[in-house]
């Protein structure tokens, strides 16, 4: 497994809506994540900075990168664009983090 982590930002006053939308994540989105090799996916919120820390484990980088091309992923991005920082294609603005320590 490949461990990945990144930072994102939720808009001020949208923290509860962001959480609510993930509590009701679409089954099709969950299926896509599994199909494209995502495991142990979690997102954590720092409510003082509106920062989101995401962690997931993936099977293969190439397989995972293709998940962004799926219709369900693009639909999810459009659904989420009003509550978080996004790029022109509606994908979340992501800062990928480099792993500097791991202890199994």
Catalytic residue positions?
22
Residue 33, H or E segment: helix 27-35
Coil, helix or strand at residue 86: strand
Contact (Cβ atoms closer than 8 angstroms) between residue 58 and residue 64: yes
- Find how far residue 97's CA is from the centre of its chain: 13
């Amino acid at each position: 497994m490949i461990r990945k982590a990144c930072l994102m930002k939720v808009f001020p006053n949208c923290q509860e809506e962001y959480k609510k939308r993930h509590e009701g994540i679409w089954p099709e989105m969950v299926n896509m994540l599994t199909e494209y090799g995502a495991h142990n996916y979690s997102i954590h919120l720092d409510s003082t900075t509106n920062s989101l820390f995401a962690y997931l484990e993936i099977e293969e980088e190439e397989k995972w990168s293709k998940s962004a091309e799926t219709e369900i992923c693009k639909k999810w991005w459009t659904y989420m664009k009003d509550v978080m920082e996004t790029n022109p294609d509606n994908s979340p603005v992501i800062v990928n983090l480099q792993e500097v320590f791991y202890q199994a």
